[in-house]
Structure 1
C-alpha cells in the first residue's frame, strides 16, 4: 500500500463556536474514510486550543505561534486555513485584536508569500441575546472584521451549527476532489493550477480584493480611475464569474471579451 500524504488544516475560532469546531474534526474523520483515501492523502486538523501545550514566559498567542513554527509546521505549510466566528472576536493579543485575528493575519501573510494556505472563513448569522455592552462591542467588532475578510478571502454565512457542518463538508469534498498527489514527497504549491500559474501576476497587479456583493462597485471604480489596464476577477468554478460580468455588460451597454480558462 502506498504511503498516504499528510494534508494539514489549521482551525481558528473564538470560544462561542465550540460545536462548529467539533464538526470540523468529525467531517475530516468522515472524509478521511472516503474521498481522502481515493486521493492517497490523510487530512489532519490542528486546533489552537487543543494542539498547544502550557508555556511560561510568553503571551498565550505568542506561545502558540512559537509552537506552531517550532513543533508543528509553519503557517505556509498548511494547505487550508479555516476560520469560524459568531458573536465573539476573541481575546486581544499584543499584536492583534484577538488570537483568531492574529492567526488569520499570519495565514494571509503566508498566502501572499507562498500561495498557501487556502483561506476560508465562516460566519454564523443566527440571532443571539447580547445582554451587555461588552457583548455588543464584540459583535460590532466581528461585523467590522467580516467586512475586511470579505475583501481578501472566501467567506460563507450559515444559520446554525448543523448548516455549517453541511456546508463545510460539501466545500471540503469539492476542495479535495481537485487534489493531485505529489510525487517523491515534493511539496505541492497550490491545489488550483490556474491560480498557481497566475498568482504572482495577480499579486503584482491587483491591489484590491472585494467580495461578490461589491464587484460592480469595484468595476465602476476601476474604469473611473484607470485610463487603461486589466481588471481580473478570480474565483472558484461555478460561483458565477461569467454571470456577474454578463449582467454588468447588460446594465452598462458595453462590449466585453470573455477569456475562459477551464482550470479556473
Structure 2
C-alpha cells in the first residue's frame, strides 16, 4: 500500500485555472511517485458535494483541512472569508500537532486596481500582515507555471 501525502489546495474561485494546473501537475507526479510507493491525494473544494449538509459545508472543509499533511493557499486580488477560515483551521491544527505544513502564495499578475473593490485589496494586505506577525513566510508567483 503506497504512503499517502494529503494536500489541501485552497483559493477563491478567481484562481480556478491555477488550481487546475496544480491538479494536473500532481496527477503527473503521482505516476512516478506511485512507482516508488508514494501517492499524493489532492483535495480541492470542487471535489465536495454542494448538497445540503447537516452542518455548515464550510465546517466539513475545515475538518478535512485538519487531516492534511500539507495546506497550500493561493491568493490574487482578495482573501475570501472561507479561505481565511480554512487557514485558521490549518494553523490551529499546526499549532497542536505540527501538521499540516502551510504554504502561501500570492499571484503577482497584472490587474486593473480600479476594478478591484477596496475591501478586497485591504483583505490581502490585512492577511499578509497577519502572516508576517506569525513569522510565516509567503511567496509570490506570476503564473501557474511559476507556481509548480
Residue 66 (structure 1) aligns with = 60
Work out which of the residue numbers 103, 108, 123 in structure 1 matches 2:106: 123
Residue 198 (structure 1) aligns with = none
Residue 4 (structure 1) aligns with = 2
Work out which of the residue numbers 82, 89, 96 in structure 1 matches 2:72: 82
Q: CA deviation at 1:67?
A: 5.9
Q: Give 1:100-139 correspondences, 5 Å limit.
A: 100-132=83-115, 135-139=117-121
Q: Deviations over 1:135-179 (max 9, x none)?
A: 2320121122022223343411012232223xxxxxxxxxxxxxx
Q: Judging changes above 3 Å, is the alpha-carbon distance between structure 1 residues 9 and 83 closer, same or farther for their aligned structure 2 residues?
A: same
Q: Judging changes above 3 Å, is the alpha-carbon distance between structure 1 residues 129 and 57 closer, same or farther for their aligned structure 2 residues?
A: farther
- Alignment size in residue pairs: 147
Q: Give 1:95-244 correspondences, 5 Å limit.
A: 98-132=81-115, 135-150=117-132, 151-165=134-148
Q: Deviations over 1:119-147 (max 9, x none)?
A: 00010122201334x62320121122022
Residue 27 (structure 1) aligns with = 25
Instruction: State TM-score, norm by structure 2.
Output: 0.86
Larger radius of gyration: 1
Select the structure that is richer in strand. 2
Q: Judging changes above 3 Å, is the alpha-carbon distance between structure 1 residues 39 and 113 closer, same or farther for their aligned structure 2 residues?
A: farther
RMSD: 2.1
Deviating runs (4+, > 6 A) in structure 1? Answer: none
Q: Judging changes above 3 Å, is the alpha-carbon distance between structure 1 residues 122 and 52 closer, same or farther for their aligned structure 2 residues?
A: farther
What is the rounded CA distance, in whole Å, between the counterparts of 1:135 and 1:15 in structure 2?
A: 16
What is the rounded CA distance, in whole Å, between the counterparts of 1:122 and 1:66 in structure 2?
A: 24
What is the rounded CA distance, in whole Å, between the counterparts of 2:83 and 2:61 in structure 1?
A: 16
User: Aligned to 1:77, what secondary structure does the other structure show?
Assistant: coil
Q: Deviations over 1:56-101 (max 9, x none)?
A: 565xxx32323663xxx4x3321100000000222xxxxxxx0000
Stretches of structure 2 that go unaligned for 5 or more consecutive residues are none
What is the rounded CA distance, in whole Å, between the counterparts of 2:19 and 2:37 in structure 1?
A: 25
Moved more, 3-12 or 134-143: 134-143
Q: CA deviation at 1:26?
A: 1.0
